[in-house]
């Protein structure tokens, strides 16, 4: 099924029930009208990062089901798949063959070897300083080969996620084959995870390196477009980068909206939110929550620096069980640009504030995405996070079928579902439609229109009351 202008659910294969069959049941039983598409987070065999260290792409993790289950969901809902363009698992057959056979491996060109990449085999201190790093040192892992030799191989993220050399023919062939297979399996849109890290050049920051990154994007676009699918580059950085990507006709994420909406609700003013909504791209996917934390870096210069700091502190003070330590090294979190919490808990588990936040999101330009925990107005899962010591698990609760059924009785869940159905069915939300916003004090009015159709959100950011006209 091709991409539609209807709300996309983001979920793991085993978070709404135990597997893909359960997920399909939940969708059909409760959300047939509320959800038009599903981003099933990486469902491939993986060695780390809850799917984001894929061992292979030609199989579904057996714990979830198989590709037949994926394809059945795709008959009723448009699908988004993840492709980790930057890396592959250290347990993948490609890297394991490289470790076994070294220079004789047919996959040796898949990986970025320090000895070949850097002059003299090592970066200088100045070159390391330039790199946009996720570690407090040069990004590498020391590969240990079967013959006893060792060498440094580029590794941006955790040691189970080995970077790919996307410039080499063998790697490009692998990328093309994988993308084509995804399209055959029913992907309407392919999310390019961590794509901004994919191009490395000495004496650059190795992050969104132009013009090479554009060449890579257009090459990938050409492959998937043959099947009528689309691509969504994923990037958390200054808002001007997604804007540049949007200007070239690609889909982008609106990662600025979550914090701007929190700021508006915490401080009872829509001043900064209004400015962004009037200028954000039409061809985008909006979020309030995802499988990661709430991004802070994405609002730099959309909010003054002092307002960014203010809203971060408000998240900790006004949110329910939101603590700084949950986004720290103590919980294996090095992403200082994110705050780990559910969106519902960031708003103090306040039903009215939460529903208004969703209403604002649904009136924003683009296609809304709703994360599964957010769809059930889920609170911070402190028990899971303490068990795993992974800060992001605070927002990754595993729902049983019985829990999901019980959650449907909550007023906030029912009302959110009604809002989702309205967003999917009202013609004024056409992607090419217009948006008009009025702000006066705590009062905010957002009007969406397309041809002769119009719909208006009238909201009070002070008491969180709103109506739709």
Edge-first strand listing for the sheet containing 230-233:
230-233, 187-192, 78-83, 37-40, 8-11, 367-371, 284-286, 252-254
| Integer Cα distance of 27 and 226 in angstroms | 29
The structure tokens 């198989």 sit at: 66
* Tokens coding 58: 């030609």
Residue 367 near residue 344, CB atoms below 8 Å: no
- CA-wise closest residue to 349 among 464, 227, 469: 464
- CA-wise closest residue to 207 among 230, 179, 241, 256: 241
Would you please indicate which residues are annotated as catalytic (active-site) residues?
193, 234
The structure tokens 């780990």 sit at: 340
| Integer Cα distance of 290 and 359 in angstroms | 17
Query: In whole angstroms, how far apart are CA 185 and each of 72, 190, 221, 254, 305?
Result: 10, 12, 17, 27, 45
Residue 430 near residue 422, CB atoms below 8 Å: no
Residues contacting 7, CB < 8 A, separation 6+:
34, 35, 36, 37, 362, 367, 368, 369, 370, 420, 423, 424
DSSP β-bridge partners for residue 187: 79
What pLDDT does 394 receive? 96
Residues contacting 49, CB < 8 A, separation 6+:
157, 158, 160, 161
The size of the chain, in residues, is: 469
Residue 341 near residue 319, CB atoms below 8 Å: yes
| Integer Cα distance of 60 and 43 in angstroms | 6
| Integer Cα distance of 445 and 431 in angstroms | 19
| Integer Cα distance of 357 and 275 in angstroms | 17
Residue 8 CA to its chain's centroid (Å): 12
**Tell me, what DSSP letter sits at residue 300?**
B
Per-residue burial over 336-352, b = 16 or more CB atoms within 10 Å of its CB, e = otherwise: eebbbbbbbbbbbbbbe
- C-beta atoms surrounding 18 within 10 Å: 17
Instruction: Set out the domains of the chain in order of their start, with CATH numbers.
Output: 8-85+168-432 (3.20.20.80), 93-163 (3.90.400.10)
Residue 454 CA to its chain's centroid (Å): 30
Query: What ranges in 280-377 are assigned the alpha helix state H?
Result: 305-318, 343-346, 351-363, 372-375
The structure tokens 């492959």 sit at: 223
- Predicted confidence pLDDT, tens digits, the chain (469 residues): 999 999 999 999 999 999 999 999 999 999 999 999 999 999 999 999 999 999 999 999 999 999 999 999 999 999 999 999 999 999 999 999 999 999 999 999 999 999 999 999 999 999 999 999 877 889 999 999 999 999 999 999 999 999 999 999 999 999 999 999 999 999 999 999 999 999 999 999 999 999 999 999 999 999 999 999 999 999 989 999 999 999 999 999 999 999 999 999 999 999 999 999 999 999 999 999 999 999 999 999 999 999 999 999 999 999 999 998 888 888 887 655 789 999 999 999 999 999 999 999 999 999 999 999 999 999 999 999 999 999 999 999 999 999 999 999 999 999 999 999 999 999 999 999 999 999 999 999 999 999 999 999 999 999 999 999 9
């Amino acid at each position: 099924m091709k991409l539609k202008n209807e709300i996309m659910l983001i979920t793991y294969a085993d978070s709404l029930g135990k597997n893909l069959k359960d997920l399909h049941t939940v969708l059909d039983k409760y959300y047939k009208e509320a959800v038009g598409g599903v981003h099933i987070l990486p469902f491939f065999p993986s060695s780390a990062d809850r799917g984001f260290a894929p061992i292979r792409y030609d199989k579904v993790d057996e714990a979830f089901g198989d590709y037949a289950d994926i394809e059945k969901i795709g008959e009723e809902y448009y699908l988004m798949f993840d492709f980790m363009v930057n890396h592959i698992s250290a347990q993948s057959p490609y890297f394991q063959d490289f470790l076994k056979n070294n220079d004789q491996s047919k996959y040796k060109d898949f990986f970025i070897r320090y000895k070949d990449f850097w002059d003299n085999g090592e970066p200088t201190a100045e070159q390391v300083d330039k790199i946009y790093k996720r570690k407090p040192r040069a990004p590498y892992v020391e590969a240990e080969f079967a013959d006893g030799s060792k060498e440094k191989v580029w590794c941006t993220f955790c040691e189970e996620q080995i970077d790919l050399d996307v410039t080499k023919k063998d790697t490009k062939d692998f990328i093309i084959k994988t993308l084509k297979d995804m399209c055959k399996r029913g992907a309407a849109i392919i999310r390019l995870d961590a794509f901004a890290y994919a191009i490395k050049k000495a004496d650059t920051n190795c992050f969104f390196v132009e013009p090479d990154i554009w060449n890579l994007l257009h090459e990938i676009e050409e492959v998937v477009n043959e099947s009528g699918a689309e691509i969504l580059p994923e990037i958390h950085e200054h808002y001007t980068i997604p804007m540049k990507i949007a200007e070239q006709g690609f889909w982008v994420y609106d990662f600025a909206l979550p914090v701007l909406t929190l700021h508006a609700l915490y401080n009872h003013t829509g001043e900064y939110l209004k400015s962004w909504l009037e200028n954000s791209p039409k061809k985008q996917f909006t979020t309030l929550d995802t499988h990661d934390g709430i991004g802070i870096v994405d609002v730099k210069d959309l909010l003054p620096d002092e307002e960014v700091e203010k809203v971060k502190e408000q998240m900790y003070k006004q949110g329910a069980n939101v603590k700084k330590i949950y986004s720290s090294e103590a919980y294996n979190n090095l992403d200082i640009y994110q705050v780990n919490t559910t969106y519902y808990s960031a708003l103090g588990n306040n039903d009215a504030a939460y529903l208004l936040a969703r209403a604002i999101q649904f009136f924003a330009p683009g296609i809304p995405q709703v994360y599964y925990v957010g769809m059930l107005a889920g609170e911070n899962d402190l028990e899971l996070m303490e068990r795993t010591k992974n800060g992001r698990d605070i927002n990754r609760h595993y729902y049983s079928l019985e829990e999901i059924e019980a959650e449907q009785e909550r007023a906030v869940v029912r009302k959110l579902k009604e809002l989702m159905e309205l967003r999917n069915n009202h013609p004024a939300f056409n992607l090419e439609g217009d948006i008009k916003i009025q702000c006066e004090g705590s009062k905010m009015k957002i009007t969406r229109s397309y041809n002769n159709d119009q719909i208006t959100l009238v909201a009070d950011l002070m008491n969180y009351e709103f109506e739709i006209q």
